[in-house]
Amino acid sequence: MLKVKIYDTTLRDGAQSEGISYSVTDKIRVTQELDKLGIQYIEGGWPGSNPKDMEFFRKAAKLRLRNSVLAAFSMTRRSGISAAEDSNIKALVKSGAKIITIVGKTWGLHIEDVLKISLDENLKMIKDTIQYLKSKGIIVFYDAEHFFDAYKADKEYSLKCLLTAEEAGAEAICLCDTNGGTLTSEITKIITAIKPKIKVCLGIHCHNDCGLAIANSIAAVEAGCTMVQGTINGYGERCGNADLIPIIANLQLKLNINCIRDENLKELAHVSHFISEISNLRVKNDQPFIGDSAFAHKGGMHINAVMKNPATYEHIEPDLVGNRRRILVSELGGKTGIMLRAKAMDLDLSKEDPKTKKILKLLQDLEHSGYHFEAAEASFELLVKKALKKYGKFFELESFRVVVEKQSNKKITSEAIMKVRVKGVREHTAAEGDGPVNALDNALRKALKDFYPMLSKMRLSDFKVRVLDEKAGTAAKVRVLIQSQDEIDTWNTIGVSENIIEASWQALVDSVEYKLLKDKA
């Protein structure tokens, strides 16, 4: 197998994504996960730009990384001073990083219009910076910023920038599509032209402004690049960077080009989800390879075919990348989808069974009224078990009342008063919360805690409300989806009503009952 090295820049380029802010602790945890995955190079940040990155490199020096080498990032020295005098360069040396990645200009537009220096001075800045860092025993990579735009504007000068970096001692040169505007055919053509002229490792760094960062990165490898820079989940400024998750999967599974150990491919989904949590962002359901919907099947014809031979609608086995096949239940899935979901619950149903027809009719009626069970599998399981009389109630609601009060100090408080019967015992509780749903949740838990102590291990992790008919205004029916989790599982429940509190209550009750059901309370 061929070998391509992966250079991750999630902690620097990815951190420039709108809405992301990593603490030093976050950066340490991400570094450890990337090391476990087997990423060769991890760019930890720009030591000269902020105190946080300097602190990261001080703490990261104590890490025992098994697979990865940390890299620090900065730009070439400033014009008019030597590299030894430049504060950014001093900070790089002080960081202790074994690899320094230097970004330098290659495009006359930036050199003359932004830096306001001559083309010759830019070459000197590249040369002096790399030579100085090499004299300190540091491995230097050179990122040729805006290279593809530069090459299209001036082939001779852009190539001269690369050769200057190579002659100064750069051990890898990375071609950057910084504006993300280069087409895949152009990437292939340009790299094919310059590859014979560069002796050191050639890399690719793509941005996603045209939605082509993944394709361009793979095309660059096919054209001869042996290093790929990118970020986990494609995080980055504007439209993001090249997403390393599908890049690694495609290179390894489709092109037989080794990036990480084969056994580590199963960790791709975990790493993607872990870093999304650290970034306080959700992984898109339709994200290739590792998204929840990547191997989800909804149409009845698709489900039928996949159960006979998964290759009919799946390009790889899901577990190769740590994902799983999902059979979605909806009015489109027909009896086959219901039978398969029932089988997963250890229930035996056939197409001819009247119970299957009964459940399908119930499902179709509920989805027609606004339910959406493919997004709430826990609620569907409860629905099936209730229809088959395989379910006994854990508690019964007598009544609840929610009071929302706005006080003179502008603070809004919510309180829920609840009466329920549990195992023949009447419980009357009240609890406050950050909002009406939180207050209901707290009051219900308070009533149930002595009967079902396992509920203390459960928490609500996400809450979504969708208006189903905007034209109805405040009288519109709403759909509430609640995601809950405990120490082992995550599950989703649903409620639908014209009253948002009632819809929330339905989803909340399902989430609690599913927890009790799965724990065999």
Reported in sequence order, the residue ranges of 207-348 that DSSP labels E, i.e. its strands, are: 227-230, 257-258, 296-297, 326-327
Q: What is the CA radius of gyration of the chain?
A: 28
**Residue 488 to residues 208, 457, 515, 518: CA-CA distances in angstroms?**
36, 10, 11, 11
Could you give the percent of the chain with pLDDT greater than 90?
68
Q: How does residue 336 score in pLDDT terms, banded at 50, 70 and 90?
A: low
Rounded to 5°, the CA angle 341-347-350 comes to: 80
pLDDT above 90: residue 331 = no
Reference 404, options 395, 415, 393; nearest CA is 415
415 φ, ψ to 5°?
Answer: -135, 135
pLDDT tens-place string over residues 163-201: 999 999 999 999 999 999 999 999 999 999 999 999 999
Q: How does residue 43 score in pLDDT terms, banded at 50, 70 and 90?
A: very high
Same fold, 359-391+456-521 and 395-451: yes
* pLDDT of 386: 83
Give the domain ranges of the chain: 2-260, 359-391+456-521, 395-451
Q: What is the DSSP string of 330-351?
A: STTTHHHHHHHHHHHTT----T
Architecture of the 2-260 domain: Alpha-Beta Barrel (3.20)
**Residue 448 to residues 422, 443, 457, 514: CA-CA distances in angstroms?**
7, 9, 13, 14
Q: How does residue 362 score in pLDDT terms, banded at 50, 70 and 90?
A: confident
* pLDDT of 234: 97
Reference 11, options 225, 233, 162, 227; nearest CA is 233
Cα(212)–Cα(319) distance, rounded to whole angstroms?
26
CATH number of 359-391+456-521: 3.30.160.340
Cα(131)–Cα(350) distance, rounded to whole angstroms?
74
Residues paired with 201 in a beta bridge: 172
Residues paired with 314 in a beta bridge: none
* pLDDT of 53: 93
Element (H, E) at 327: strand 326-327
pLDDT tens-place string over residues 142-161: 999 999 999 999 999 999 99
Reference 143, options 155, 153, 156, 129; nearest CA is 129
Q: How does residue 326 score in pLDDT terms, banded at 50, 70 and 90?
A: confident
* pLDDT of 166: 98
Sequence-separated (6 or more) residues with CB below 8 Å from residue 189: none
What is the average pLDDT score of the chain? 90
pLDDT above 60: residue 114 = yes
Sign of CA dihedral 362, 365, 371, 372: positive
DSSP 292: T
61 φ, ψ to 5°?
Answer: -60, -25
pLDDT tens-place string over residues 275-295: 987 887 877 889 999 988 899
Reference 44, options 83, 34, 142; nearest CA is 34
* pLDDT of 377: 83
Instruction: Please tell me which residue, 372 or 157, carries the higher pLDDT value.
Output: 157
pLDDT tens-place string over residues 240-259: 999 999 999 999 999 999 99
Reply yes or no on domain 395-451 having CATH 3.40.50: no
The pTM of the whole model exceeds 0.75: no
pLDDT above 70: residue 419 = yes
* For range 395-406, the mean pLDDT: 93
Reference 271, options 289, 298, 254; nearest CA is 289
pLDDT tens-place string over residues 458-493: 988 888 888 877 666 666 788 898 989 888 888 889
